[in-house]
Amino acid sequence: MALTQSGPVNRFGIHPQKFALWAAMGSIVMMFASLTSAYVVRRGAGNWLEYKLPLLFFISTLVLLISSLTLHWSYSSYKKGLELRYKSFLVVTLLLGLAFAVLQYQGWLQLYSYGIELKGNPSGSFFYAISGIHLAHILGGLAALTVAGIHAFGLPFAVSEKRRHRFELVCHYWHFVDVLWVYLLTFMIIQQ
Amino acid sequence: MAEVLENKVNLPDVDQLIREQGYDDHFHEHHHGDKYQSGFISKYIFSMDHKIIARQFLITGMIWAVIGGLMSLIFRLQLGFPEENFAWLRPLIGRWVTVNDAGVGTITPEFYYAMVTMHGTIIVFFVLTAGLSGTFSNLLIPLQVGARDMASPFLNMLSYWFFFLSSIVMLLSLFLSTGPFSGGWTAYPPLSALPQASDGSGAGMTMWLVSLTLFVVSVLLGGINYITTVLNLRTKGMSMWKLPLPIWAFFTTAVLGLLSFPVLVSGFLLLFFDRSLGTSFYLSEIFVGGQALDFAGGSPILYQHLFWFLGHPEVYIIILPAMGIVSEVLSVNSRRPIFGYRFMVYSILAIGFLSFIVWAHHMFMSGVNPFISNFFVIFTLIIAVPSAVKVFNWLTTLYGGNIRLTTAALYGIGFVSMFISGGLTGIFLGNSAIDVQQHDTYFVVAHFHIVMGVAAMFGMFAGVYHWYPKMYGRFMNETLGKIHFWGTMIGAYAIFWPMHYIGMAGVPRRYYRFDTFEAFKHFGALNKFMTIAAIIVFACQILFIINFFYSIWKGRKVTSRNPYNANTLEWTTETIVPGHGNWEGNIPTVQRWAYDYNKDEREFIPQYVPVGPDEKDESH
């Protein structure tokens, strides 16, 4: 897949692909900024059901944060040429990412059992919608991690600039969706 | 133009200069065998070459312009001749014309609303966003900044094909038995949120949503690419302050798209949840057909905020590329440097910034707090400042110039005329007190058609006539072009000028017919006049299409590599229609800004010519 015409690092200091990824992140930020603004506006209009978030969402946040840490370890191990650490931390990250998705789902079920449904008062609908759209972005990150895993296990191990760069893009995105969730959760707590 | 062609005084040899000064990126050594253009499919269909993608965007946009234009003719016929027998339209639109026992055919109201809605959606998104910025950003960004191609040719190809998919979905929705969506191009709830609200609100609305979501994907993929290319792949010496103005305009357009379209997606997602999952984001207690529905606590105003947060930047996404193109065309054709280059750039950026904080001026009558309205009034009126800066700079660029009245230049001047006429009425509408009377009348319709519809079309025509040689290696026919211009220019004013008056009289937009209202009856003749003008303008566009396709094969051939004696890099390629990679040898390096026309007694000095020792560098 010929993603770029230029060399690995061009004269302007940042790789075009990395720049494009940052631009895409900006676009995703706008999407969640608009959703959370809509939340604020709707909440300000009154008729708003208050509820406490289940503990599960805090556990899932912890899992996601740890997954970022393990991914970082995997990346730095790759740069140092430590094959086993690189591969195992990548697998751990993928598993933690999956665990996050499952925990989010369990959290929704628990919230549902409190009587907060998708339908009905918009305070519930907003939470399901925002966390659901975030989960869609996590699934994109899991797909990227899977591709990174296929590279790690399918290709013979070698430290090359091209592979480091690709892996770095995956890491950037994963850290981004992690920080994004921390923002969303903090937002929800402040609002409640 | 022939005498200008031979004018090569004091100009160093292009190839020699590029060889000596140019930047060798070993491009062709890495791209042997040319995998991009090896077969018919990879060259013309799933092409990753920005120039082919530009032509794909242009031709798809033209097809949509014809469809959207025909739709406007259908509803103009209804408005101009509400009593007429339209049975003859049956072969075209089938049972949407009901024929009574006396054999008199009537366009159904549902179809009328569907046509109004589709006309808006198609022209705003498919023609003036994809067809304008898609075409010219693709064609000009790599060529004018001196890049081999876009940062990511693959994403660029995807951008076109997502647009194509979106087109197909929208096209198919026209053939639904319940008709396409008919609740207005802004798709306000509840008409858009309740599938049972009207004929078009069911399957038609679903397909509208799917189509526009695909369209947003296309805009985002394209936009990421344009921004990355402008910031990262400029040739050596091409500092931001040396960029030609179209590039600044395309760049700002892409930034606006990247920041505002995701907000529309958020709005669409919530709308989708309301439609399919029964949430109440936009719906509160509502009765449809006497039945109470199970919604509570939502607000349709929320959708309006999310929609117009895109919607207002969107009108600048439409007009900014046209402004950039016109700046370049006017400077080249008046043989004068663009007046106030830096202020042109600052005003593009200012317009881009302000476009994000004026959205609620579309909602003065929607029940937003009047104190908040004041804020939006002030920022809306402030946009007049950068807009006026641009207008004065265009006029001063033309003033005292050695103007070549080519069709492209005529369209450039026509653009300025339209932008002034339409911009001035914007000052009325931006004022929340006057908007109480003007809101949702034909005054608004006239305003935005002139300032963003016709003006942006003129910018697009200027670009097509001007850069046609770069796309097809031939010129378009100038005589046909001038007939096209004068017909469109006079005709467009004939359609939209009278509209202001009926708008001031309070005639509301989107109504099916006016002859049954005592207050609006006497505008019948004016409505007839506008309809006839619309038909004439449409006929002029057929002239353009004939000219366009005829010239691809039979137009006058371009004999020189720089037919307009222009300064920008796209005219330095070895062949007039460049192959993959744009330059066969080195990429030219840039030594000066793009607007050294008639400087130091030299007619023009291209960007790759080094600045002489006792010469002033205009880009500092």
> Residue B250 has which token pair?
């395309």
What pLDDT, on a 0 to 100 scale, did the predictor assign at position A1? Answer: 33
- Give the largest Cα separation in chain A, rounded: 60
Interval A154-172 mean pLDDT: 92
- Beta-carbon separation of B270 and A129 below 8 A: yes
pLDDT at B417: 97
Report the pLDDT averaged over residues A134-141. Answer: 97
CB-CB: which of A28, A41, A47 is closest to B262? A28
* The token pair that represents B581 in the structure block: 């990679």
Top pLDDT among A24 and B297 is at A24
Torsion-angle region of A28 (φ positive above 0: left; ψ -120 to 50: alpha; else: beta):
alpha
How close does chain A come to B388, measured CA to CA in Å? 30
B31, B49 contact by CB (below 8 A): no
How confident is the model over A168-173, as a mean pLDDT?
96
What does the block give as tokens for B357?
A: 């904080």
**CB atoms A12 and B258 under 8 Å:** no
What mean pLDDT value characterizes chain A?
90
Centroid of chain to Cα B588: 30
Residue whose token pair is 């000028």: B497
In A, minimum Cα distance to B307 occurs at: A34
Residues 6+ away with beta carbon under 8 Å from B39: none
When CB atoms are compared, the residue of B154, B231, B309 closest to A1 is B154
Count CA within 13 A, CB hemisphere, residue A103: 18
pLDDT band at A133 (very low <50, low <70, confident <90, very high): very high
Contact residues for A148 (Cβ-Cβ < 8 A; gap 6+): A90, A166, A167, A170
Q: Is cis: bond before B190, omega within 30 of 0?
A: yes
pLDDT at B29: 63
d(CA B463, CA B457): 10
User: Could you tell me if A47 lies within 8 Å of chain B, comparing CB atoms?
Assistant: yes
Size of interface A-B (CB pairs under 8 A): 128
Cα A62-A67-A71 angle, rounded to 5 deg: 155
Which portions of chain B are predicted below pLDDT 70? Answer: 1-12, 26-38, 620
Smallest Cα–Cα separation from B143: which of B461, B443, B587?
Answer: B587
Q: Is the pLDDT of residue A2 over 70?
A: no
Bridge partners of B604?
B597
Q: How far does CA B223 lie from the centroid of its chain?
A: 14
- Residues B499-539 have pLDDT tens digits of 999 999 999 999 999 888 898 989 999 999 999 999 999 99
pLDDT of residue A125: 93
Name the β-bridge partners of B23: B587
Q: Which residues contact B246 (CB under 8 A, 6 or more apart)?
A: B136, B140, B144, B321, B324, B325, B327, B328
Q: What are the chain A neighbours of B234 within 8 Å (beta carbons)?
A: 12
Do B231 and A12 make contact, defined as CB atoms within 8 angstroms? yes
CA distance B301 to B450: 27
CA distances from B213 to A145, B218, B356, B457 (A): 26, 9, 21, 24
What is chain B's mean pLDDT, rounded? 91
Which string of DSSP letters, residue by residue, matches chain A?
----SS-SS-TTSS-HHHHHHHHHHHHHHHHHHHHHHHHHHHHHTS-----PPPTHHHHHHHHHHHHHHHHHHHHHHHHHT-HHHHHHHHHHHHHHHHHHHHHHHHHHHHHHHTT--SSSSHHHHHHHHHHHHHHHHHHHHHHHHHHHHHHHHHSPP---HHHHHHHHHHHHHHHHHHHHHHHHHHHHHHH-
Contact A34 B278 (CB under 8 A): no
Is-contact A148 A90, C-beta < 8 A?
yes
The residue ranges of every structural domain in chain B are 2-30+46-283+295-604
Peptide bond into B313 cis (omega under 30): no
Q: Could you give the CA distance from residue B595 to residue B615 in angstroms, rounded to a whole number?
A: 14
Q: How far is residue B206's CA from residue B183's CA, in Å, rounded to a whole number?
A: 12
Cβ–Cβ gap A11/B236 under 8 Å:
yes
Distance CA B534, CA B119 (A): 14
Residues of A in contact with B266 (CB under 8 A): 31-32, 34-35, 38, 133
Instruction: Phi first, then psi: give them for residue A47, nearest 5 degrees.
Output: 50, 60
Contact in structure between A122 and B279 (CB atoms under 8 Å): yes
Mean pLDDT of A138-150: 96
pLDDT score at A44: 86
Tokens of B607: 């960007």
Residue A10 pLDDT > 60: no
The CA distance from B351 to B452, in Å, is: 14
Q: Please spell the DSSP secondary structure of B532-556, one letter per residue.
A: HHHHHHHHHHHHHHHHHHHHHHHSP
Q: Which residues contact B118 (CB under 8 A, 6 or more apart)?
A: B68, B71, B170, B174, B180, B181
Q: Which of B253, B185, B265 is nearest to B225 (CA)?
A: B253
Identify the H or E element spanning B107: strand B105-107
Residue B604 phi/psi, 5-degree rounding, is -155, 150
Q: Pick from A47-56, A164-173, B82-91, B511-520 the range whose average pLDDT is largest.
A: A164-173
Quick one: three-class SS letters along B22-69? CECCCHHHHCCCCHHHCCHHHHHHCCCCHHHHHHHHHHHHHHHHHHHH
Test A34 with B149 for CB contact under 8 angstroms.
no
- Give pLDDT, residue B11: 59
Name the residue of chain B whose CA is nearest to A36's CA: B266
Q: What is the mean pLDDT of residues A169-174?
A: 96
Mean pLDDT for the stretch of residues A82-110: 96
In angstroms, rounded to a whole number, what is the distance separating the alpha carbons of residues B133 and B223?
Answer: 10
CA-to-CA distance for B201 and B286, rounded, in angstroms? 16
Q: Which helix (H) or strand (E) holds A88?
A: helix A83-113
Are B456 and B126 a contacting pair, CB within 8 Å? no
Q: Which domains does chain A possess?
A: 55-191 (1.20.120.80)
Distance CA A161, CA A153 (A): 18
Tokens found for residue B431: 């004022």
Interface test with A, best of B49, B224, B240, B359 (most A CBs within 10 A): B224
What distance in Å separates the CA atoms of residue B497 and residue B478, rounded to the nearest whole number? Answer: 28
For residues B247 and B144, the answer to whether their CB atoms sit within 8 Å is yes
Q: How far is A166 from chain B (nearest CA, A)?
A: 15
Is this prediction's ipTM beyond 0.95? no
Contacts of A30 in chain B (CB under 8 A): 258-260, 262-263
With beta carbons less than 8 A apart as the criterion, state whether B418 and B454 touch. yes
Q: How close is the nearest chain B Cα to the Cα of A44, in Å?
A: 12
Joined together, the tokens standing for residue B182 give 């008919």
Tokens representing A171 are 């890491």
Q: Which CATH code fits B2-30+46-283+295-604?
A: 1.20.210.10
Distance between CA atoms of A98 and B209, rounded to whole angstroms? Answer: 31
Q: Pick the closest to residue A187 from A121, A112, A141, A131 (CA basis).
A: A131
pLDDT at B515: 85
What is the separation, in whole angstroms, between the first and last Cα of chain B?
A: 32
Question: Which chain B residue has its CA at the smallest distance from A1's CA?
Answer: B154
| Closest-approach residue (CA) in chain A for B304 | A38
Q: Residue B428 contacts by C-beta under 8 Å, 6 or more apart in sequence?
A: B434, B438, B443, B447
CB contact under 8 A, B259 and A12: no
Provide the shortest C-alpha distance from residue A61 to chain B (in Å). 23
List CB contacts (< 8 A) between B221 and chain A: none
